[in-house]
């Protein structure tokens, strides 16, 4: 996959023709004069390959891998290096024919946007000249030197083997949720359903979720490999062997994605926000979901569609303020949905969610999630959201407040739908499935009454969801 690049004096280009034209400026050349046998002096073209800007928030990039090796011949449009931005891994192409003469930032190294990471020679004869230039740059006070400093190439620590010696026989340690009892197994709703479908006995499954809670992947693993039989921990002296992915007491630097999330969270503190909560009855939505789930429809797509339809009627909640002096009524309704992935958090965007049918929206969501987990999202697939959803309901969380992403007007936290005893308007007692949603909004542009009427509209759509399938 290739990506669009901000032209920063780089020899790389995206596949976009418009962007390519911007990268052909002679200012990208670094000329070195040499004398040929006939006495004519010509200019050797040795180009510096720069770290590209893969997104508007990217300040530095990590070289994941070099697709080409030193000395390899390159053709225009060929992938040369895989770069990790703050949100994704992307193949980057070269705009010029030539030879990869010298790699200045090794795999795993981090370089600021716009700094040189390699040299590209026009001909094979100029490779040695380029190598000399790279060595000179590395031995001088040139900023290139900073690209290969040890702190930029810290390898990820291997999962350590932790052994606790306590004198006796070896036993396994089973994580147990504090609320679990002999009669009760603590598992997510989806894990329970999955266990029923796959005929897995939950009491024999070891949970890997928070505080030992059984989650879907535990059930899937048990179905494939067979559930391990938990052995009790002896009360006397024992020898315990535990495989751990975390070395306790260690200090670990942020990944590129974690650093980006940290910057965004700090930036969000400058925005004055407020929060409004609302309880919505989900019986009708749950029934609709059961009816169309077999067609590939997801609950995430249904919630995104309902939210988008409500935003159509309340455009101010879909607006954004970036400069503190004005705000924009966004022309599109793009629903960003928070997804937890290995090493961080990303918000794939369902663009024009109000206009796309629920079946296409669900297919698009599955595609975006797959790309997000493979770190292959394009910038326009994660940075164009106008309203954000964060759903922790699948973990049993009943309510929470989300932090507003910079550049947007509002984010909605969605809790679990739970059976609740309620009184109807005619004073009858009954049980309804209820879901709590909490919206965090930018108070510079959105006021309490704006959120109140928006949530009323959203509740009407969810409680009578016939419009979601049109």
C-beta of residue 344 within 8 angstroms of C-beta of residue 255: yes
Dihedral sign of CA atoms 299, 300, 304, 307 in order:
positive
Is 177 catalytic? The answer is: no
Of the candidates 427, 453, 344, 339, which has an alpha carbon nearest to the alpha carbon of residue 389?
339
Q: Could you tell me the CA-to-CA distances from 394 to 20, 180, 193, 343 in Å, in that order?
A: 44, 18, 12, 20
60-66 and 79-84 beta bridge pairing = antiparallel
Catalytic residue among 131, 275, 443, 460: 443
Of the candidates 55, 126, 59, 116, which has an alpha carbon nearest to the alpha carbon of residue 88?
55
Strand, helix or coil for residue 364: helix
Q: What tokens appear for 429 in the block?
A: 């007692």
Q: What tokens appear for 289 in the block?
A: 């979901």
Q: What tokens appear for 159 in the block?
A: 């999962």
Long-range contacts of 455-461 (CB under 8 A, 24+ apart): 455/276, 455/278, 456/278, 457/310, 457/313, 457/314, 458/278, 458/280, 458/306, 458/307, 458/310, 459/278, 459/280, 459/281, 461/306, 461/309, 461/310
Of the candidates 86, 82, 110, 99, which has an alpha carbon nearest to the alpha carbon of residue 47?
99
- DSSP character at residue 248: T
Dihedral sign of CA atoms 286, 393, 340, 403 in order:
positive
Q: Could you tell me the CA-to-CA distances from 370 to 158, 364, 407 in Å, in that order?
A: 26, 10, 25
- DSSP character at residue 167: S
List, in order, residues 6 or more apart from 82 with CB less than 8 Å away.
63, 64, 65, 66, 67, 89, 90, 91, 92
Q: What tokens appear for 198 in the block?
A: 């796959």
Q: What tokens appear for 273 in the block?
A: 């926000």
C-beta of residue 277 within 8 angstroms of C-beta of residue 434: no
CA distance 274 to 214: 34
List, in order, residues 6 or more apart from 455 with CB less than 8 Å away.
276, 278, 437, 439
Helices 299-313 & 448-463, crossing angle to 10 degrees? Answer: 130
Active site residues: 443
């Amino acid at each position: 996959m290739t990506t669009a690049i901000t032209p920063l004096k780089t020899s790389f280009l995206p596949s976009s023709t418009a962007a390519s034209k911007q990268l052909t400026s002679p200012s990208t050349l670094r000329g070195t004069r040499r004398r040929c046998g006939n006495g004519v002096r010509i200019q050797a073209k040795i180009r510096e390959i720069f770290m590209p800007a893969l997104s508007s928030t990217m300040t530095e990039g990590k070289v994941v891998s070099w697709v080409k090796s030193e000395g390899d011949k390159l053709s225009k449009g060929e992938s040369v290096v895989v770069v990790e931005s703050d949100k994704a891994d992307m193949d980057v192409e070269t705009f010029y024919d030539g030879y990869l003469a010298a790699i200045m930032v090794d795999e795993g190294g981090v370089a600021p946007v716009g700094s040189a990471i390699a040299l590209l020679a026009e001909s094979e004869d100029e490779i040695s000249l380029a190598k000399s230039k790279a060595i000179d740059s590395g031995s001088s006070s040139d900023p290139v030197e900073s690209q290969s400093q040890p702190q930029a190439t810290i390898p990820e620590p291997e999962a350590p083997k932790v052994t606790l010696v306590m004198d006796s026989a070896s036993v396994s340690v089973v994580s147990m949720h504090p609320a679990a009892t002999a009669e009760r197994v603590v598992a997510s709703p989806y894990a329970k359903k999955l266990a029923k479908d796959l005929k897995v006995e939950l009491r024999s499954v070891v949970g890997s979720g928070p505080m030992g809670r059984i989650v879907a992947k535990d059930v899937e693993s048990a179905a494939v490999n067979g559930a391990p039989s938990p052995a009790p921990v002896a009360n006397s002296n024992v020898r315990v062997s535990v495989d751990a992915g975390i070395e306790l007491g260690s200090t670990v630097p942020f990944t590129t994605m974690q650093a980006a999330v940290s910057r965004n969270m700090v930036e969000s503190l400058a925005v004055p926000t407020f929060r409004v909560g609302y309880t919505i009855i989900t019986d009708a939505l749950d029934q609709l979901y059961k009816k169309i789930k077999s067609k590939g429809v997801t609950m995430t797509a249904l919630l995104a569609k309902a939210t988008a339809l409500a935003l159509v009627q309340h455009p101010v909640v879909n607006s954004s303020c970036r400069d503190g002096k004005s705000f924009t009524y966004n022309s599109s309704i793009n629903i960003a949905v928070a997804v937890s992935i290995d090493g961080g958090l990303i918000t794939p965007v369902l663009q024009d969610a109000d206009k796309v049918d629920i079946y296409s929206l669900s297919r698009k969501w599955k595609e975006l999630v797959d790309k997000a987990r493979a770190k292959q999202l394009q910038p326009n697939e994660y940075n164009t959201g106008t309203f954000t959803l964060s759903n922790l309901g699948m973990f049993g969380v009943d309510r929470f407040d989300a932090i507003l992403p910079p550049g947007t007007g509002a984010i909605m936290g969605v809790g679990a739908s739970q059976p609740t005893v309620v009184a109807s308007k005619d004073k009858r007692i009954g049980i309804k499935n209820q879901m709590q949603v909490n919206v965090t909004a930018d108070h510079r542009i959105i006021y309490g009454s704006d959120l109140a009427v928006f949530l009323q509209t959203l509740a009407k759509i969810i409680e009578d969801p016939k419009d979601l399938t049109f």
